[in-house]
Structure 1
Amino acid sequence: MARLQPFGEEIWLADGPQAAVAGFAYPTRMAVIRLGGRRLFVWSPVALDAALRVEVEALGDVRWLAAPNSLHHLFLAEWKAAYPAAALWAAPGLRGKRPDLAFDGDLGETAPPDWADEIDQAPVHGNLITTEVVFFHRRSRTVLFTDLIQHFPGGWFRGWRALVAGLDLMTAAEPQVPRKFRTGFVRRRAARDSLARILDWPAEKVVMAHGAPVQADGAAFLRSAFRWLGAQPAGRAADGA
């Protein structure tokens, strides 16, 4: 069975092996976006094996490897070794955490010219845990979130881990911003300003690294997920709504 699954026009998803973080097992997911000229943008790379490499290379040339926050970096070195010509881009805070990696650029407020015409991006500021950079693929109208929204199925965790996950909203009835990240938003105005940009995107789909993708009504889904923060689209904020 193919690892890369189409998710829309010029975007594919692949699930990787679980990763253990603080005693919890997390699924891993990556996205591959094909830009003009068969250039590939790889978001949150998962473990690279021979089969996945064949599928990726069938799509085009790996040009950019993007680590969307300082928590998703486990497999960057093996991808850089496999594709030394690819540019490695770091989320805020990751350079200091991975001094062993030679990053080519830092993900900021504005998408670099290499992919700005096809992919937008917005760092979500104000959180003590990490500054996550959220992406929007215009052609497929897909928003890519890493950790700020999560949803684990019932039974994924057991014992005391299930209790902790429930308290953290990781296993709520619907995808949620985990409680630890909610608490981590100590600068809420900065967070709302960041999210206003994201809520302005004409999203149809939403990808989460830890949760089933949202296939429709993505904009409404995001407004609901961040309602607790008082986040609203920039246009509405400017109108005083």
Structure 2
Amino acid sequence: MQLEPLDTHLWHATHAFKANGLPITTRMTVVRLPGHKLLIHSPIPMPPGSALLRQVQDLGSVTYIVAPNKMHHLFLAPCAAAFPGAAVYGPQGLAQKRPGLAATLRTLPAGDLPEWLPDLEHFAFEGIPAGNESVWFHRPSATLIVTDLLQWMAGDLPWPTRVYAALTGARSQLAVPLTVRALVRDRAAAARSAERLLRWPFARVVVAHNCIIDTDARAQVARALAVF
């Protein structure tokens, strides 16, 4: 694992593991804010002494660590331990799901934090309370950052993952997978959030699971979110 640049102040790294027996990858995104303050979005393992940890440390000071939904918390505690001075944020409900984190976990607000503006904006995508996912826009690089809301599992993958991706609709194109659509409890609220997301002038999409989209990104996102 190593960091790869996406833009001047934006990097990513992926981690392969098994979730409920399914081989998948997940992506960490690192944003450098003014003052060389770093925000880690959806952390992955960074063992002590690892090259990945050193790369992150060389970029600046890790000031914020974010679990962007209630599913992407597996590596939150070790990341917080590696950067004890960082403020750790998670969505509403994560503290109840992970009581061991409750003492240090701050609830991610539904809207923007002044500390991250104007470079980084976010809001809570409504209507899917099981995930309580927030979506993010890095304005300097025109990059949309999502976690599970949008997925595209392309390329050479283990056969169980290929089958899973095909069954959920995320194998051949960017999509809101069936696993997420099944969790929608307020379609009107989700539609409002989709409309709000599409107001951002993004030209690239970074998703947690597999693809990065930098061609016709807006059109692909609009098509995927039309399910709402």
**Interval containing the TM-score (normalised by the shorter chain):** over 0.9
What residue number does 1:196 align with?
195
* Equivalent residues of 1:147, 1:209 under 8 A apart: yes
* Residues 146 and 210, structure 1, Cα contact 8 Å, conserved in 2: yes
Distance 1:162 1:204, change over 3 A: closer
- Per-residue deviation, 1:221: 2.1
SS in 1 for 2:54: helix
Question: How many Å apart are 1:162 and its aligned residue?
Answer: 4.6
Q: Which residues of structure 2 form unaligned runs of 5+?
A: none
1:43-192 correspondence to structure 2 within 5 Å: 43-49=41-47, 50-101=50-101, 102-153=103-154, 156-158=157-159, 162-171=162-171, 173-192=172-191
Contact 1:43 1:67 in 2 (8 A): yes
Secondary structure at the aligned position of 1:228 is classed as coil
**Contact 1:93/1:130 (<8 A) preserved:** no
Alpha-carbon distance, 1:128 to partner = 4.7
- Which string of whole-angstrom CA distances, capped at 9 and with x for unpartnered residues, describes residues 115-149 of structure 1? 12211101111125311101100101111110111
- Structure 1, unaligned runs of 5 or more: 230-241
Between stretches 36-45 and 94-103, larger displacement belongs to: 94-103
**Root-mean-square deviation (Å):** 1.7
> 1:104, CA displacement in angstroms?
4.2
In structure 2, relative to structure 1, the CA distance for the partners of 1:20 and 1:56 (3 Å cut) is same
Share of identical aligned residues, percent? 35
For the 8 Å contact 1:203–1:217, the answer to whether it is kept is: no
Q: How many matched pairs?
A: 225
CA contact (8 A) 1:42 1:62 kept: yes
- Post-superposition offset of 1:20: 1.8
Residue 213 of structure 1 is matched in structure 2 by 212
Kept in 1, the 8 Å contact 2:174–2:221? The answer is no
> For 1:162 and 1:153, how far apart are their aligned partners in 2?
8
Superposed CA offset, 1:152-208 (max 9, x none): 23552425x65444221132x112111121121121011111122111000011000
Mapping 1:219-238, distance limit 5 Å? 219-229=218-228
TM-score normalized by the length of structure 1: 0.87
Q: Which moved more, 1:217-226 or 1:133-142?
A: 217-226
Contact 1:142 1:203 in 2 (8 A): yes
